[in-house]
Structure 1
Amino acid sequence: MGEVVNVLVAFAVIVFLFRWVTSSSESGERSPADTLGFRPKNITQDMIDTISNMFPDIPTDNVRYDLLRTGSVELTSNKILERGFLDAPPPAYYTLYPREPTPSSTANRSSNSNGDATPKKLQETLISRYQLEGRVVDAEPVVEDRVGGKAVWEDSPDKREASLRERKAQMILAARQRMLAQQEAKS
Protein backbone atom coordinates (compact mmCIF):
# COMPACT_ATOMS: atom_id res chain seq x y z
CA MET A 1 0.00 0.00 0.00
CA GLY A 2 2.85 2.36 0.80
CA GLU A 3 4.41 1.71 -2.57
CA VAL A 4 1.18 2.72 -4.37
CA VAL A 5 1.11 6.04 -2.51
CA ASN A 6 4.74 6.68 -3.42
CA VAL A 7 4.03 5.93 -7.08
CA LEU A 8 1.00 8.30 -7.08
CA VAL A 9 3.00 11.07 -5.42
CA ALA A 10 5.87 10.61 -7.86
CA PHE A 11 3.44 10.64 -10.80
CA ALA A 12 1.78 13.85 -9.51
CA VAL A 13 5.18 15.52 -9.11
CA ILE A 14 6.19 14.54 -12.65
CA VAL A 15 2.92 15.91 -14.09
CA PHE A 16 3.34 19.14 -12.11
CA LEU A 17 6.95 19.57 -13.30
CA PHE A 18 5.98 18.81 -16.90
CA ARG A 19 3.22 21.48 -16.82
CA TRP A 20 5.52 24.00 -15.19
CA VAL A 21 8.29 23.47 -17.77
CA THR A 22 5.94 23.64 -20.77
CA SER A 23 4.12 26.74 -19.51
CA SER A 24 7.36 28.66 -18.89
CA SER A 25 8.65 27.87 -22.39
CA GLU A 26 5.66 29.74 -23.87
CA SER A 27 6.68 33.04 -22.30
CA GLY A 28 6.22 34.84 -25.66
CA GLU A 29 2.51 34.02 -25.65
CA ARG A 30 1.24 35.54 -22.44
CA SER A 31 -2.46 35.63 -21.77
CA PRO A 32 -4.29 38.95 -21.92
CA ALA A 33 -4.96 38.74 -18.18
CA ASP A 34 -1.21 38.39 -17.48
CA THR A 35 -0.34 41.23 -19.84
CA LEU A 36 -2.94 43.73 -18.64
CA GLY A 37 -2.98 42.78 -14.97
CA PHE A 38 -6.73 42.08 -14.96
CA ARG A 39 -9.08 39.75 -16.77
CA PRO A 40 -10.51 41.70 -19.72
CA LYS A 41 -14.27 41.70 -20.17
CA ASN A 42 -15.93 40.87 -23.48
CA ILE A 43 -16.72 44.06 -25.35
CA THR A 44 -18.10 44.82 -28.79
CA GLN A 45 -17.30 47.49 -31.34
CA ASP A 46 -20.80 48.90 -30.77
CA MET A 47 -19.89 49.60 -27.14
CA ILE A 48 -16.75 51.47 -28.21
CA ASP A 49 -18.68 53.38 -30.88
CA THR A 50 -21.39 54.36 -28.38
CA ILE A 51 -18.89 55.93 -25.99
CA SER A 52 -16.89 57.51 -28.85
CA ASN A 53 -20.05 59.08 -30.27
CA MET A 54 -21.03 60.49 -26.88
CA PHE A 55 -17.52 61.75 -26.09
CA PRO A 56 -15.64 62.34 -29.36
CA ASP A 57 -12.73 64.06 -27.60
CA ILE A 58 -11.81 60.92 -25.61
CA PRO A 59 -9.26 58.76 -27.50
CA THR A 60 -10.59 55.40 -28.70
CA ASP A 61 -7.76 53.49 -27.01
CA ASN A 62 -8.69 55.01 -23.64
CA VAL A 63 -12.33 54.05 -24.20
CA ARG A 64 -11.46 50.46 -25.19
CA TYR A 65 -9.11 50.05 -22.21
CA ASP A 66 -11.72 51.25 -19.72
CA LEU A 67 -14.41 49.07 -21.32
CA LEU A 68 -12.08 46.07 -21.04
CA ARG A 69 -11.80 46.81 -17.31
CA THR A 70 -15.47 47.56 -16.58
CA GLY A 71 -17.34 45.76 -19.35
CA SER A 72 -20.08 48.38 -19.06
CA VAL A 73 -20.93 51.39 -21.21
CA GLU A 74 -22.76 52.97 -18.28
CA LEU A 75 -19.81 52.73 -15.88
CA THR A 76 -17.41 54.10 -18.48
CA SER A 77 -19.68 57.01 -19.40
CA ASN A 78 -20.27 57.81 -15.72
CA LYS A 79 -16.51 57.83 -15.14
CA ILE A 80 -16.07 60.30 -18.00
CA LEU A 81 -18.87 62.51 -16.69
CA GLU A 82 -17.47 62.49 -13.14
CA ARG A 83 -13.77 62.88 -13.95
CA GLY A 84 -13.86 64.44 -17.41
CA PHE A 85 -11.27 61.99 -18.78
CA LEU A 86 -10.25 58.35 -18.90
CA ASP A 87 -6.87 57.00 -17.91
CA ALA A 88 -4.49 56.22 -20.74
CA PRO A 89 -3.77 52.53 -21.26
CA PRO A 90 -0.37 51.18 -20.19
CA PRO A 91 2.24 50.25 -22.82
CA ALA A 92 1.39 46.55 -22.42
CA TYR A 93 -2.10 47.30 -23.76
CA TYR A 94 -0.65 48.21 -27.17
CA THR A 95 0.97 44.78 -27.50
CA LEU A 96 -2.49 43.20 -27.44
CA TYR A 97 -4.40 45.98 -29.22
CA PRO A 98 -2.10 47.79 -31.66
CA ARG A 99 -3.13 51.28 -32.66
CA GLU A 100 -5.24 51.47 -35.77
CA PRO A 101 -4.45 54.41 -38.03
CA THR A 102 -7.27 56.92 -38.31
CA PRO A 103 -8.77 57.56 -41.76
CA SER A 104 -7.34 61.09 -41.90
CA SER A 105 -3.82 59.94 -41.04
CA THR A 106 -3.91 57.13 -43.61
CA ALA A 107 -4.92 59.59 -46.31
CA ASN A 108 -1.98 61.85 -45.41
CA ARG A 109 0.50 58.97 -45.20
CA SER A 110 -0.38 57.16 -48.39
CA SER A 111 2.62 56.09 -50.39
CA ASN A 112 3.32 55.20 -53.98
CA SER A 113 5.18 52.19 -55.35
CA ASN A 114 8.59 53.70 -54.51
CA GLY A 115 7.64 54.08 -50.86
CA ASP A 116 7.85 57.88 -51.04
CA ALA A 117 5.01 59.96 -49.68
CA THR A 118 2.71 61.16 -52.45
CA PRO A 119 2.11 64.90 -52.80
CA LYS A 120 -1.15 66.14 -51.36
CA LYS A 121 -4.05 66.47 -53.74
CA LEU A 122 -4.51 70.01 -54.94
CA GLN A 123 -7.20 71.74 -52.97
CA GLU A 124 -10.42 72.18 -54.84
CA THR A 125 -11.44 75.83 -55.18
CA LEU A 126 -14.97 77.13 -54.99
CA ILE A 127 -14.67 78.24 -58.60
CA SER A 128 -13.95 74.69 -59.73
CA ARG A 129 -16.45 73.10 -57.33
CA TYR A 130 -19.33 75.17 -58.71
CA GLN A 131 -18.03 75.12 -62.32
CA LEU A 132 -17.67 78.92 -62.53
CA GLU A 133 -14.50 78.94 -64.64
CA GLY A 134 -16.36 80.37 -67.65
CA ARG A 135 -17.83 83.19 -65.59
CA VAL A 136 -14.44 84.13 -64.13
CA VAL A 137 -13.03 84.59 -67.62
CA ASP A 138 -15.85 87.00 -68.46
CA ALA A 139 -14.62 89.21 -65.58
CA GLU A 140 -17.97 90.97 -65.37
CA PRO A 141 -18.04 93.07 -62.21
CA VAL A 142 -20.53 91.67 -59.74
CA VAL A 143 -22.95 94.23 -58.37
CA GLU A 144 -22.95 94.01 -54.57
CA ASP A 145 -26.68 94.84 -54.36
CA ARG A 146 -27.59 91.71 -56.31
CA VAL A 147 -25.36 89.50 -54.19
CA GLY A 148 -26.86 90.23 -50.78
CA GLY A 149 -30.43 90.91 -51.87
CA LYS A 150 -33.43 88.82 -51.01
CA ALA A 151 -34.45 86.09 -53.36
CA VAL A 152 -37.93 85.88 -54.79
CA TRP A 153 -39.84 82.77 -53.77
CA GLU A 154 -40.27 80.74 -56.93
CA ASP A 155 -43.26 78.51 -57.68
CA SER A 156 -41.47 75.26 -58.46
CA PRO A 157 -38.64 73.52 -56.60
CA ASP A 158 -36.54 73.49 -59.77
CA LYS A 159 -36.76 77.27 -60.12
CA ARG A 160 -35.93 77.72 -56.41
CA GLU A 161 -32.89 75.47 -56.80
CA ALA A 162 -31.73 77.37 -59.87
CA SER A 163 -32.19 80.67 -58.05
CA LEU A 164 -30.18 79.41 -55.08
CA ARG A 165 -27.45 78.15 -57.38
CA GLU A 166 -27.25 81.54 -59.10
CA ARG A 167 -27.06 83.39 -55.78
CA LYS A 168 -24.23 81.09 -54.64
CA ALA A 169 -22.36 81.76 -57.85
CA GLN A 170 -22.79 85.52 -57.46
CA MET A 171 -21.55 85.39 -53.87
CA ILE A 172 -18.48 83.36 -54.84
CA LEU A 173 -17.63 85.68 -57.72
CA ALA A 174 -18.09 88.77 -55.52
CA ALA A 175 -15.82 87.29 -52.85
CA ARG A 176 -13.20 86.54 -55.52
CA GLN A 177 -13.33 90.10 -56.79
CA ARG A 178 -12.92 91.48 -53.25
CA MET A 179 -9.93 89.17 -52.70
CA LEU A 180 -8.29 90.28 -55.97
CA ALA A 181 -8.90 93.95 -55.07
CA GLN A 182 -7.25 93.41 -51.67
CA GLN A 183 -4.26 91.73 -53.31
CA GLU A 184 -3.89 94.62 -55.77
CA ALA A 185 -4.08 97.13 -52.91
CA LYS A 186 -1.28 95.32 -51.05
CA SER A 187 0.99 95.27 -54.08
Structure 2
Amino acid sequence: MGEVVNAFVAFAVIVFIVRWATTSKNEPSEEQAAARALQFRPKKVTPDMTETISTMFPDMPRENIHYDLLRTGSVQQTSDKIIERGFLEAPPPAYFTLYPRSATARAPAPAVPPRPTGSSTSAAKKSESLISRFQLEQRAATAEEIAAEADAGGRAAWEDTAEKREASLRERKAKMILAARQRLLAQQAEKSSG
Protein backbone atom coordinates (compact mmCIF):
# COMPACT_ATOMS: atom_id res chain seq x y z
CA MET A 1 0.00 0.00 0.00
CA GLY A 2 2.83 2.39 0.86
CA GLU A 3 4.45 1.80 -2.51
CA VAL A 4 1.24 2.80 -4.33
CA VAL A 5 1.02 6.06 -2.39
CA ASN A 6 4.71 6.81 -3.10
CA ALA A 7 4.21 6.13 -6.82
CA PHE A 8 1.11 8.35 -6.91
CA VAL A 9 2.93 11.22 -5.15
CA ALA A 10 5.94 10.86 -7.45
CA PHE A 11 3.69 10.92 -10.50
CA ALA A 12 1.88 14.06 -9.25
CA VAL A 13 5.20 15.83 -8.59
CA ILE A 14 6.50 14.97 -12.06
CA VAL A 15 3.29 16.25 -13.71
CA PHE A 16 3.49 19.47 -11.65
CA ILE A 17 7.15 20.04 -12.60
CA VAL A 18 6.51 19.40 -16.32
CA ARG A 19 3.56 21.79 -16.34
CA TRP A 20 5.49 24.47 -14.50
CA ALA A 21 8.46 24.15 -16.85
CA THR A 22 6.38 24.29 -20.03
CA THR A 23 4.09 27.15 -18.99
CA SER A 24 6.86 29.40 -17.72
CA LYS A 25 8.71 29.25 -21.06
CA ASN A 26 5.69 29.67 -23.35
CA GLU A 27 3.67 32.83 -23.02
CA PRO A 28 -0.07 32.20 -23.17
CA SER A 29 -1.66 33.14 -26.45
CA GLU A 30 -4.01 36.09 -26.71
CA GLU A 31 -6.96 33.72 -26.96
CA GLN A 32 -5.93 31.83 -23.82
CA ALA A 33 -5.41 35.09 -21.92
CA ALA A 34 -8.84 36.30 -22.99
CA ALA A 35 -10.44 33.01 -21.98
CA ARG A 36 -8.82 33.16 -18.53
CA ALA A 37 -9.76 36.79 -17.93
CA LEU A 38 -13.35 36.51 -19.19
CA GLN A 39 -13.89 32.99 -17.79
CA PHE A 40 -15.19 31.72 -21.13
CA ARG A 41 -13.69 31.05 -24.53
CA PRO A 42 -14.46 34.11 -26.72
CA LYS A 43 -16.07 33.44 -30.08
CA LYS A 44 -14.97 35.10 -33.30
CA VAL A 45 -16.67 38.51 -33.64
CA THR A 46 -16.41 40.69 -36.71
CA PRO A 47 -17.03 44.46 -36.74
CA ASP A 48 -19.96 43.83 -39.09
CA MET A 49 -21.68 41.71 -36.44
CA THR A 50 -21.37 44.49 -33.87
CA GLU A 51 -22.46 47.09 -36.41
CA THR A 52 -25.53 45.06 -37.39
CA ILE A 53 -26.83 44.88 -33.83
CA SER A 54 -25.83 48.47 -33.14
CA THR A 55 -27.93 49.69 -36.06
CA MET A 56 -30.90 47.58 -34.95
CA PHE A 57 -30.62 48.79 -31.35
CA PRO A 58 -28.88 52.20 -31.40
CA ASP A 59 -29.47 52.87 -27.70
CA MET A 60 -27.56 49.74 -26.64
CA PRO A 61 -23.90 50.38 -25.64
CA ARG A 62 -21.45 48.90 -28.13
CA GLU A 63 -19.34 47.36 -25.34
CA ASN A 64 -22.33 45.37 -24.11
CA ILE A 65 -23.08 44.22 -27.65
CA HIS A 66 -19.48 43.18 -28.29
CA TYR A 67 -19.23 41.37 -24.95
CA ASP A 68 -22.40 39.39 -25.59
CA LEU A 69 -21.27 38.56 -29.12
CA LEU A 70 -18.01 37.24 -27.68
CA ARG A 71 -20.07 34.92 -25.48
CA THR A 72 -22.66 33.79 -28.02
CA GLY A 73 -20.93 34.27 -31.36
CA SER A 74 -24.33 34.80 -32.94
CA VAL A 75 -26.09 37.99 -34.02
CA GLN A 76 -29.42 36.15 -33.80
CA GLN A 77 -28.94 35.07 -30.16
CA THR A 78 -27.74 38.50 -29.09
CA SER A 79 -30.62 40.30 -30.78
CA ASP A 80 -33.11 37.81 -29.30
CA LYS A 81 -31.64 38.47 -25.86
CA ILE A 82 -32.09 42.23 -26.32
CA ILE A 83 -35.68 41.77 -27.48
CA GLU A 84 -36.56 39.41 -24.60
CA ARG A 85 -34.79 41.25 -21.78
CA GLY A 86 -34.52 44.78 -23.09
CA PHE A 87 -30.87 45.02 -22.06
CA LEU A 88 -27.51 43.26 -22.20
CA GLU A 89 -25.20 42.70 -19.25
CA ALA A 90 -22.31 45.13 -18.89
CA PRO A 91 -18.90 43.57 -19.46
CA PRO A 92 -16.63 42.96 -16.45
CA PRO A 93 -13.49 45.07 -15.89
CA ALA A 94 -11.32 42.30 -17.37
CA TYR A 95 -13.07 42.84 -20.70
CA PHE A 96 -11.76 46.41 -20.92
CA THR A 97 -8.17 45.29 -20.38
CA LEU A 98 -8.45 42.95 -23.35
CA TYR A 99 -10.68 45.12 -25.54
CA PRO A 100 -10.03 48.84 -24.88
CA ARG A 101 -12.96 51.22 -25.26
CA SER A 102 -11.51 52.84 -28.38
CA ALA A 103 -11.69 49.54 -30.28
CA THR A 104 -15.33 48.70 -29.52
CA ALA A 105 -16.93 52.05 -28.78
CA ARG A 106 -15.89 53.41 -32.13
CA ALA A 107 -19.14 54.28 -33.82
CA PRO A 108 -18.95 54.94 -37.52
CA ALA A 109 -19.71 58.49 -38.43
CA PRO A 110 -23.04 58.75 -40.16
CA ALA A 111 -22.83 59.76 -43.78
CA VAL A 112 -24.15 63.30 -43.48
CA PRO A 113 -23.42 65.66 -46.31
CA PRO A 114 -21.59 68.80 -45.23
CA ARG A 115 -23.84 71.73 -44.49
CA PRO A 116 -23.48 74.55 -46.93
CA THR A 117 -22.82 77.90 -45.38
CA GLY A 118 -23.82 81.33 -46.51
CA SER A 119 -26.94 83.43 -46.73
CA SER A 120 -27.96 82.20 -50.18
CA THR A 121 -28.36 78.59 -49.04
CA SER A 122 -30.30 79.50 -45.91
CA ALA A 123 -32.60 81.74 -47.94
CA ALA A 124 -33.18 78.93 -50.46
CA LYS A 125 -33.89 76.51 -47.62
CA LYS A 126 -36.44 78.86 -46.04
CA SER A 127 -38.20 79.53 -49.32
CA GLU A 128 -38.76 75.84 -50.06
CA SER A 129 -41.79 74.54 -48.24
CA LEU A 130 -43.92 71.46 -48.58
CA ILE A 131 -46.28 73.41 -50.77
CA SER A 132 -43.49 74.26 -53.23
CA ARG A 133 -41.85 70.84 -52.96
CA PHE A 134 -45.07 69.08 -53.99
CA GLN A 135 -46.08 71.84 -56.47
CA LEU A 136 -49.32 72.67 -54.65
CA GLU A 137 -49.15 76.46 -55.07
CA GLN A 138 -52.24 76.67 -57.28
CA ARG A 139 -54.28 74.37 -55.05
CA ALA A 140 -53.20 76.27 -51.92
CA ALA A 141 -54.34 79.55 -53.48
CA THR A 142 -57.94 78.47 -53.86
CA ALA A 143 -59.77 78.82 -50.57
CA GLU A 144 -62.59 76.48 -51.58
CA GLU A 145 -60.31 73.53 -52.11
CA ILE A 146 -58.45 74.15 -48.87
CA ALA A 147 -61.71 74.13 -46.98
CA ALA A 148 -62.70 70.92 -48.79
CA GLU A 149 -59.51 69.21 -47.68
CA ALA A 150 -60.77 68.85 -44.10
CA ASP A 151 -61.14 65.10 -44.65
CA ALA A 152 -57.44 64.61 -45.39
CA GLY A 153 -56.93 61.53 -43.23
CA GLY A 154 -59.71 59.39 -44.74
CA ARG A 155 -59.08 55.85 -45.86
CA ALA A 156 -58.36 55.30 -49.52
CA ALA A 157 -59.81 52.43 -51.49
CA TRP A 158 -57.38 49.80 -52.73
CA GLU A 159 -56.68 50.45 -56.38
CA ASP A 160 -56.17 47.79 -59.04
CA THR A 161 -52.84 48.90 -60.46
CA ALA A 162 -49.65 50.21 -58.96
CA GLU A 163 -49.94 53.44 -60.95
CA LYS A 164 -53.41 54.13 -59.55
CA ARG A 165 -52.22 53.36 -56.01
CA GLU A 166 -49.27 55.72 -56.47
CA ALA A 167 -51.55 58.48 -57.78
CA SER A 168 -53.94 57.90 -54.86
CA LEU A 169 -51.06 58.14 -52.39
CA ARG A 170 -49.81 61.33 -54.03
CA GLU A 171 -53.30 62.84 -53.80
CA ARG A 172 -53.65 61.89 -50.13
CA LYS A 173 -50.25 63.48 -49.40
CA ALA A 174 -51.36 66.65 -51.14
CA LYS A 175 -54.62 66.71 -49.15
CA MET A 176 -52.75 66.23 -45.87
CA ILE A 177 -50.29 69.03 -46.69
CA LEU A 178 -53.10 71.40 -47.65
CA ALA A 179 -55.07 70.51 -44.51
CA ALA A 180 -51.99 71.15 -42.36
CA ARG A 181 -51.51 74.50 -44.10
CA GLN A 182 -55.15 75.38 -43.40
CA ARG A 183 -54.69 74.58 -39.71
CA LEU A 184 -51.51 76.66 -39.60
CA LEU A 185 -53.24 79.63 -41.22
CA ALA A 186 -56.12 79.29 -38.74
CA GLN A 187 -53.69 79.24 -35.80
CA GLN A 188 -51.87 82.31 -37.12
CA ALA A 189 -55.17 84.11 -37.59
CA GLU A 190 -56.16 83.30 -33.97
CA LYS A 191 -52.82 84.58 -32.67
CA SER A 192 -53.03 87.82 -34.62
CA SER A 193 -56.64 88.49 -33.59
CA GLY A 194 -56.19 87.42 -29.97
Q: Normalising by structure 1, what TM-score? A: 0.50
1:94 correspondence with 2:98:
no
Equivalent in the alignment of 2:14: none
**Do residues 168 (structure 1) and 179 (structure 2) align?**
no
More helix by share: 2
Counterparts of 2:155 and 2:85, CA distance in 1 = 49
Identify unmatched segments of 5+ residues in structure 2: 1-24, 117-121
Identity percentage of aligned residues: 48
**1:71-150 matched pairs, under 5 angstroms:** 71-73=72-74, 76=78, 80=82, 81=84, 84-87=87-90, 92=97, 93-97=100-104, 99-103=106-110, 107=112, 122=125, 125-136=129-140, 138-141=141-144, 142=146, 143-144=148-149, 147=152
Aligned to 1:185: 190
8 A Cα contact 2:60 2:87, kept in partner: no
| 8 A Cα contact 2:136 2:174, kept in partner | yes
Tell me which amino acid in the other structure corresponds to 1:132.
L
The change in CA–CA distance for 1:95 and 1:148 in structure 2 (over 3 A counts) is closer
CA gap 1:179/1:64 in 2 versus in 1, 3 angstroms: same
CA distance 1:60–1:133, shift in 2 (3 Å): farther
1:63 to 52, 62, 65: 65
Matched residue SS, 2:143 = coil
Check if 1:44 corresponds to 2:46: yes
Question: Structure 1, unaligned stretches of length 5 or more?
Answer: 1-18, 20-30, 113-118
Hey, what's the Cα distance between the residues in 2 that align with 1:157 and 1:61?
Answer: 45
Count residues with an aligned counterpart. 146
Root-mean-square deviation (CA, aligned residues, Å) is 4.6
**In structure 2, how many angstroms separate the alpha carbons of the residues matched to 1:53 and 1:94?**
19
Would the alpha carbon gap of residues 101 and 51 (structure 1) be closer, same or farther in structure 2, given more than 3 Å must change? closer
